[in-house]
Amino acid sequence: MSKVLVPIANGNEDIEAITIIDVLRRGGVEVTVASIHESKQVVMANGTKVEGDVLLTEVSEQLFDAVVLPGGMPGAEHLRDCKLLIDMLEKHDVQDALLAAICASPAVVFGTHGFVVDKQATCYPGFEAGLIGAEYMANEPVVMDDNILTSKGPATAMIFALTVLGNLKGYETAQSVADGLLC
């Protein structure tokens, strides 16, 4: 079974976090939702309270098939500033695990820490300057380049999550979940 880490922080975008978690679980992926804070409960950008399965510190030594970051502000900044998460992203990148981010996170997290250098990427409009060293794909809702997957924002969350699922479990599984969701 594919294993995915979804780190969450206070201020992450509600729709993105929930859509990622829900779509991947519908597709049979083992999703670990990990709060980067000292409490499992986080408050999303629009007030939704989400409780992580674990604290990030509890799974920091594990390897996952993918690490998927929701966006939203200031959530993306909290993810960017979490040294443990960045160490985990680097460890997973070396292993060619799928690294995926949506909204502000491709620029704020991946751009700041060099994960998109010499890659094509997208992000929430207005954050493109943060895609340091990347080719900004302004008109693409989802961009895949090597093991890096990026997406624009809340309205693209479903296609983003289905793309993550397709990369992990194959097109047929992703299509089956999409059909069930009327996508």
Q: Which residues are catalytic?
A: 103
Three-state DSSP class for residue 153: coil
Contacts of 179 (CB under 8 A, 6+ apart): none
The Cβ of residue 83 has, within 10 Å, a number of other Cβ atoms equal to 8
Cα 79 to Cα 9, 106, 165: the distances in Å are: 7, 11, 22
Question: How far apart are alpha carbons 24 and 5 in whole angstroms?
Answer: 11
Contact present, 138 and 126 (Cβ < 8 Å): no
User: Angle, nearest 10°, between helix axes 157-169 and 171-180?
Assistant: 140
